[in-house]
Structures are given as structure tokens and as C-alpha cells.
Structure 1
Amino acid sequence: MAAFHTIDDIPADSRVLVRLDLNSPIEDGEPQDNRRFERHAETVRELADAGHRVVLMAHQGRPGRDDFTSLSGHAAILADHIDHDVAFVADTYGDEAVESIDALGAGEVLLLENTRMCDDELPEASPEEKAETEFVQTLAPRFDAYVNDAYSAAHRKHASLVGFPLALPAYAGRVMETEYEANTAIATREFDGPVTMVVGGTKATDVIGVMDALDDRVDRFLLGGVAGELFLRAAGHPVGHDVGEMDLFDEQWEANRELIESVLDERGDAIHLATDLAYEGSDGDRAEVAVDDIDEKTEGYLDVGSETVTAYEPPIHESDAVFVKGALGVFEDERFADGTVGVLEAIAETDCFSVVGGGDTSRAIEMYGLDEDDFSHVSIAGGAYIRALTGEPLPAVETLEAAAAEQ
């Protein structure tokens, strides 16, 4: 377990500044409810019920993007999840924010405006530099404790994530605790039986790096998605390149070709590749073709085929631990959900330690009526999950650990 303090350790009746990650899809200008609100609600509810004065920080989007909006709508969604009023102030550390913070009563909750609307927040810099920003220097004196619950943003060196732990006693929220423990399990836990990793998604560069880093921790990899097709290309099949308007394969192939070929050469016996692939047939229905029967890639392949799903089930059933990074197909279209859902169902049936990572893949659990309780952990982190799997440092976690060592 990480060497940081948790919200159980906060002294009674504290003024607590809490960093969440409520970054959400925006539709028609409104944030959409999602798993992040539900998860972070546990931390906020516990702090409010304990009688602390709770002030929340979060971000939404990034300057210049369509989803860069105010957090006013987020407050209402969060309030529904914690069954408790969440006040909102359209300011982060100006006079209006400070007045609202100072007026807060015991057990009350206040959400500040989007942290990324502050000039001090975004540029990546050292925790020491971030701690000296006006943002941190203005808010920190008004609080007794800082809580970081934003594990999914822990790979960022932003002021709200790494500056405050140098200025205040710092603690981990429930999401930070559970995400850290589950996502570092592959590096820190001993498993009696085989460890399997399901690798898919569209960001092949990420998952290939994970495969390389986890070489000695994973007994077998089950591949699909873009990464799976690139590995098939490395194995000599005429797939794994762009056709038509597609822009997914060629650039990632050029960037990763040597690494893919070396991983395949060194760990070929541990790497399970698709034996058939699915595509949209001329009638609009799902069609499948055996990989060995492909002479030329003329279609965009959107899922692994049914033979592959069947072949992937036994290795999963025999595993002591299964980690998932990325979907095996375009599961948002139910015609091409068989691979992703089939593998998730096999994991759910298996009495193993299981982590399903990446926001997109975890959505399939909800979309197709699977029970989240059948998995040890369903992660809401993307970039931080990748970092944890590859053993790269997470700056926001490191600052929590450093703060604990000094407290």
C-alpha cells in the first residue's frame, strides 16, 4: 500500500480542500453524469458527514477545446450522488471564492470554478514552483487539510495536484486509495497462478509500451484492437495498415515497428493473436473472416472474430489475475461488441483478481449489463493507469507520499 495518509487521519472539524476529477463528456453545453461522480461522491459524503467544511476543486476540458466549460452543472450532478447540497461559486481563488469559503459551515460543501480557468494551474512545473503560485498561496492559508482524490489526473504536474501538498497537510481520498492499490497490484502483488493481460484499444503506442514494461510480470497477452492488428502485421499478415479514410495504423506502425517486432520475437509464445476478424458486410451486418484467408486488407476491421473470443476464454478462466487495457473492438456499436463483451464475461465468471482499466473499456460493463461487482476493480483512470502499469512515476502520488513522510 502507498505510504500516504488517508481521510481517516484528518483531525475533526477541519476546513478541507479536495481535488476531484469530474472531467466529463459535454453534450449541448451540459456535463453528462458518469462513473466519476459516483466514485468521488464517497469521499465527499464521508467528509461532509464527519462535519468538515468541504471545498472542492476540479477541471473540465482544456482551454481552446469544445468541452472547456464552467463547473456549474457539475455541482448539481454531484449533489444528486451525495444526497447533499453542493454550492457553486464561479470563481477559483478571487474575492468571491474566498468569501464563500470563509462563510462555509460545518458539513457544508462548496465547488469552486474550473481550475483550468486559472493561469497558475496548467503549465507543467515542479511541485515547488506550483506551491509558490498565487493560486496555492491564496487558498492554502484558509484550510487545515488538502485531499487529493483525482487519481486519474495524478500523472499531471498541475498546481491543484502537486502544489497544495507542499503547503498543507495532505491526504488521499477513497478513489485515490482504491485506484492506487488496484492499478499497482501488477507490480506489487504476488499471484499464485498465471497473470493475463487483455490488450486492445486504439492507442497502440500506450499498450505496446505496457507490454514491453510488464514483460516479466505477465504470462500471456490476449490482443485485439489496433495493437492486435499491428502485431498481426508484424507476424506477416496483410493487415494493420490504413485503408480509405482511416488514419489509425500507419503512423503507429512507423513509431512502434521495432518494439513490436522485438516483443513478438522475444515473447511470441506468450502473445495470443486474433485468428479471425469482424467487419461490416455489404448488407450492413457483422461479417467475419479468418486471418489466414486475408490476402489483402480492403475493409476496416472493427472487432476480433467469434473464433478468437472462444480461444481467449480458457486462458482467462485459468488465470489468477487478469488486467484489461483497451477494448478488443468498437463495442459502442453492438455489432462489434462481441470481442470486448465476451472477454469481460469470461473474466466475470472467473474467480480471479481483475482490473478493468481505461474509461472507455469500463463503459462497456455498463452498456452491456455486466455487474461491476464481478470485477475486483473497474478503473476510471486512463493515462494514470498506463503510468501505473509501466511503473512510471505519478507526480501527484509522489507529492502525497512526500507529504506523509514529513507530517
Structure 2
Amino acid sequence: MKTIGDLDSGQQLLVRIDINAPVENGRVKDHSRFERHAETISELLAEDHAVALIAHQGRPGRDTYVSLEQHAEILAGHLETSVEFVPGLADDQAITAIENLDKGEVLLLENVRFDEEELADRTPEEHAEAKFVQTLSGHFDAYVNDGYSVAHRAHASIVGFPEIMDAYAGTVMEEEYRYNTSLQTRDFDGQVVMVLGGKKASDVIDAMEHLEDRVDRFLLGGVVGELFLRASGHPVGYDIETDIYDQYYEDCQEKINQALDKYGDRIELPVDLAYRAGNSRAEHRINELDEKTVDYLDIGQITISHYVDIIEESDAVLVKGALGVFEDELFNSGTVELLEAIGATDCFSVIGGGDTSRAVRMYALDPKAFDHLSIAGGAYIRALTGEPLPGIEALQKN
């Protein structure tokens, strides 16, 4: 891929970023993506480029499907410079603002998903024919994609522009791709470990299959950990007050059993789980359970200690997904203590998945303690499982 280091200075650039963020009561919340993309934008401004940004927020029909006006304010705070918001994408108002954009200035166009052509099911060549792609492409010297976290989407703003414009990878795109594919490109002298949590067993199994020749041990937790325990014959991984375990298990039971048969000696499962007892945390030993009577919200302390011991002996550790409901301080131990152990160990580390990265920020862990802290969710999983990323392919083809 060409990168922004290959650009001549002083150009008019159309830059795709991903600042999709949580929305609560109509207010857009700050997110680590703002900070990361602000670093790329600052690099571009330092080279005297004029920068017009495009991005999305939410999906049609959801509460998070809102304008990007608040995003411009948040981004300006990270850049410490003004970001003009334009309530249009490729209409006359937007084109006028683009034509008046001077070097060293930034503007943000309206939510690209407000245009129905963005999400259309089309090939990259067909996306290049979208009206907004054709209109905007004629007003810029080059296109930059910095949105690695949307690189797994074959949407018009991601794959359409590289068909008809010079296209470059931004710093976030370049770094995320390099680190998230690191297990396939690096050699390690010692043990390589993956910490796998979250809800989606299918993602975990796909990662195991793709990286079976590179990873020595898989440490499981979260919903996934319970589902694997259920498949191993333990009375957990069932719904009590939730409605996720039984459906996930029904969907993935065969694949989970196959994974246990194939990788069982490399899979570490929780030996204890934590639950809420009044206002306190309590824990059950798995081998002492006859049935599941409570919802489990974290791995237990014995499991945590065991996993930490494994991490401290490792040469490389990758993380995908949280090991418990870390938003509740009673049940953050599994996720936070393992992250702390990874940060304190002299190992190569990549922390990925949206929730896990959020935990680093929520509990003020030092991002510099890890080799890479990914802001991607779906694209991170696609990279781990060897699936193609349309956004990357578009840049490479260009």
C-alpha cells in the first residue's frame, strides 16, 4: 500500500476515518478513535494539506444513527484546532465548503450513511459510480483511508474512491494492519498465547483454526468460556436471566466440540467463575457445581492467577474480547488483571476488540505498556482469522 508518507505536501485530501461512537440520550460520547485519527490528521496538517473528512455514525433505524455535528466538536478538541462541520455530503453546500478549504484547514462532511448509496450491495467498480463518489472525487488530489476499523466493510466510501483516485493508507490504517497481522509475519522464540473472550464462539474458533500453527495456548473466558465449559460437560453456559447462551450454543455446538477435540490440550478453560451475591462478588468452583443457578459475570481468582502465570512465561500475547463484565468494578478483575499482567511482562502484545481497548481506557491502564492497542473490532477479527479486508484490498489494488 502507498501511505501518506508518499504524498507530496500541500494537497487537497479526502480522508475516510472511523469515529463511530456510543450515543447516550442523544449525546455522542468521546472514544479512543477520535484521539487516534486526530494524530493522523495532525500529520497531514503539518504537511500543509487541506483535509476534508468523511465518516459514518450508526446504521439506519438505530438510535445511534445521528448527524456528525457533535463529532466535529469532539474531534476539534483532540486536534486543538477548529473543524468546520458541513451538514451535507456532496450537495452544493458541501462542494462550496470544499472549494473554500485552505491548506492547513479541516472540515467534516455529513454522515456518509445518510446517502443510501453508501450501504448498497455493489462491487467496488459499481460503488465507484455512486453519485457522491463521482462528485467528491473531482474536487481532491488524493484519497486517504485511515479507517482500519471499517476496512472489513465493502462500502462506497471505502472501496469506491480507490477505483478512480490515487489512494493512500493513513497512519492508523498502516499501523493497525501491520500489528494485527503480526502473528503471520513475526517469529517468536518462546510461547505464543491468545486470550479469547467476548460472546462470539464462532470468531474464537475461526481464530483458533487460522492461527493453529502459530499459537501455543488459548486462554478462554467470557460467554465463550462458559460455552466451551458446557460442551466439556459442566453445568454452565445456560441462560438464567439472559437470553444469549442457549442460542449461541445451539448455533455453535458442533464447531465447539470439534475445536475441543482438535485443540483440547492447548485450550485453557476457567476453573472458577464469579457471580453477584447481594452487593458483593462471590465465586463458584466449576468442579463443585451440580447446576447453574446464577449468572456468572467474570472468571474467578484461581483462573486469573493461572492465566497470569501463563502470560508471564510467554513471548507473545494477543487479546480478543473481555473476560467478564468489566464495566462493573466487582467483575473487572479477569479483564483488568490480565491486561496488567500483559503490560508488565516483557512480551510482544497486541490488544484488540472494541471492548478490550475500552477497558484499557476505562481503568487508566498505560496504552504504551502494549506493543499495539487496536481500535478495531470486526476488522481485527477478520485479520486474525485470515479473512480478506475489502478496504485493504482496495488500497493494495490502487
What TM-score do the two structures reach when normalised by structure 1? 0.96
2:297 to 280, 299, 302: 302
Which secondary structure state, in structure 1, belongs to the residue aligned with residue 296 of structure 2? Answer: coil
- Is the CA contact (8 Å cut-off) linking 1:223 and 1:274 kept in structure 2? yes
Alignment of 1:7-406 (within 5 A): 7-243=4-240, 245-281=241-277, 283-403=278-398
Deviation digits for residues 78-135 of structure 1 (CA, Å, limit 9, x no counterpart): 1111111111100000111111101111111110000000121112321111011111
Which secondary structure state, in structure 1, belongs to the residue aligned with residue 218 of structure 2? Answer: strand
Aligned-partner Cα distance in 2 for 1:45–1:229: 44
Aligned-partner Cα distance in 1 for 2:24–2:322: 24
1:35 partner letter:
S
1:388 partner letter:
A
Aligned-partner Cα distance in 1 for 2:364–2:63: 31
- Is the CA contact (8 Å cut-off) linking 2:218 and 2:267 kept in structure 1? yes
Aligned-partner Cα distance in 2 for 1:341–1:110: 37
- Is the CA contact (8 Å cut-off) linking 2:201 and 2:256 kept in structure 1? no
Which secondary structure state, in structure 2, belongs to the residue aligned with residue 67 of structure 1? Answer: coil
RMSD over aligned Cα atoms: 1.0
User: C-alpha displacement at 1:213, in angstroms?
Assistant: 2.2
User: C-alpha displacement at 1:373, in angstroms?
Assistant: 0.6
Aligned-partner Cα distance in 2 for 1:157–1:310: 42
User: C-alpha displacement at 1:367, in angstroms?
Assistant: 1.9
Which secondary structure state, in structure 2, belongs to the residue aligned with residue 320 of structure 1? Answer: strand
Aligned-partner Cα distance in 1 for 2:373–2:324: 19
Aligned-partner Cα distance in 2 for 1:124–1:156: 11
2:266 partner letter:
A
- Is the CA contact (8 Å cut-off) linking 1:90 and 1:112 kept in structure 2? yes
Aligned-partner Cα distance in 2 for 1:192–1:121: 45
Structure 1 unmatched ranges of 5 or more = none
2:156 partner letter:
A
Aligned-partner Cα distance in 1 for 2:200–2:356: 13
The answer to whether 1:5 aligns with 2:2 is: yes
- Is the CA contact (8 Å cut-off) linking 2:193 and 2:314 kept in structure 1? yes
- Is the CA contact (8 Å cut-off) linking 1:277 and 1:288 kept in structure 2? yes
Identical-residue share of aligned pairs (%): 59
User: C-alpha displacement at 1:154, in angstroms?
Assistant: 0.4
Runs of 4+ in structure 1 displaced over 4 angstroms? none
Which secondary structure state, in structure 2, belongs to the residue aligned with residue 226 of structure 1? Answer: helix
Aligned-partner Cα distance in 2 for 1:273–1:136: 49
Paired residue total: 398
- Greater mean alpha carbon deviation, residues 162-171 or residues 205-214: 205-214
Deviation digits for residues 330-373 of structure 1 (CA, Å, limit 9, x no counterpart): 01001011111111111011111101111111111122221111
- Is the CA contact (8 Å cut-off) linking 2:220 and 2:268 kept in structure 1? yes
- Is the CA contact (8 Å cut-off) linking 1:208 and 1:227 kept in structure 2? no
User: C-alpha displacement at 1:12, in angstroms?
Assistant: 2.1
What TM-score do the two structures reach when normalised by structure 2? 0.98
User: C-alpha displacement at 1:255, in angstroms?
Assistant: 1.3
User: C-alpha displacement at 1:45, in angstroms?
Assistant: 1.0
- Is the CA contact (8 Å cut-off) linking 1:187 and 1:389 kept in structure 2? no
Deviation digits for residues 16-42 of structure 1 (CA, Å, limit 9, x no counterpart): 000000001112322111100000001
Aligned-partner Cα distance in 2 for 1:309–1:93: 52
Deviation digits for residues 212-258 of structure 1 (CA, Å, limit 9, x no counterpart): 22222210001100111111111111111112x31111111111111
Aligned-partner Cα distance in 1 for 2:202–2:262: 18
